[in-house]
Amino acid sequence: MKVSWDSLNEAVAQCQRCELCRQIHHKVPGQGNAKARLMLIGEGPGYEEDKSGLAFVGPAGQLLTKMLASIQLTREEVYICNVVKCRPPANRVPTPDEMAACMGYLRMQFALVRPQVILLLGATAGRAVLGESFRVTRDRGRFVIKNGVWMMPTYHPSALLRDETGQKKREAWQDLLAVKAKLAEVPAGESRRVSYGVCDQ
């Protein structure tokens, strides 16, 4: 199947595949470097994202920008998106049906960006891409390779904002360092075998 950024953006803009589109201000497909080596995937848009149509621009997004800077990456160098492209009411976790309805767009984004490394932010992104049995506290911090793509699950920045002990922040820092090392280890020009199947379970 041939896919383009135009067809993806048009499909998301027109999409009514689930109820999440009923109460939103903007769809939030994602943004960043269309040929990024590193792709980041979160759960879904929040209040600020729904208002602006941009992914990760609220407090969690600002923390994410600092996290990237800590490993010498800018937002312009990576591609950032979410599992669902419409804000769930009151920021609730999207249902399995809502995630399934939206997964086709994430697959299109994988196929277009063809990242070498993916950072999965939080439990919802982990479950959507790695399977229902994923548990962020148990499974974070260990690379999984899938269809030639290295995937690192870690905490969602929102969880880090709520982290009172600092333990999750310390663990997320280790995960980021592992991502930095992996990007240095994988040659930038190495053929990217990403396909639609990268997030099939």
3-state DSSP call for residue 80? strand
3-state DSSP call for residue 177? helix
Q: Is 83 in the site for ligand SF4 (CB under 6 A)?
A: no
Phi, psi angles (nearest 5°) of residue 118: -125, 130
Binders in 154-193 for ligand SF4, by CB under 6 A: none
Single out the residue of 8, 12, 36, 80 in contact with ligand SF4 (rule: CB under 6 A): 12
Residue with tokens 């994410």: 64
Single out the residue of 4, 16, 74, 91 in contact with ligand SF4 (rule: CB under 6 A): 16
Measured from the CB of residue 28, what is the shortest distance to ligand SF4 in angstroms? 9
Measured from the CB of residue 20, what is the shortest distance to ligand SF4 in angstroms? 4
CA distance 50 to 46: 6
Q: Is 60 in the site for ligand SF4 (CB under 6 A)?
A: no
- List the alpha helices (DSSP H) in 47-95: 47-52, 59-70
Burial class (CB within 10 angstroms; exposed 0-12, middle 13-18, buried 19+) of 22 = exposed
Q: Is 101 in the site for ligand SF4 (CB under 6 A)?
A: yes
Site size toward ligand SF4 (CB under 6 A) is 14
Residues of the shown chain interacting with ligand SF4 in the complex, contacts defined by CB under 6 A: 12, 15-18, 20-21, 27, 84-86, 98, 101-102
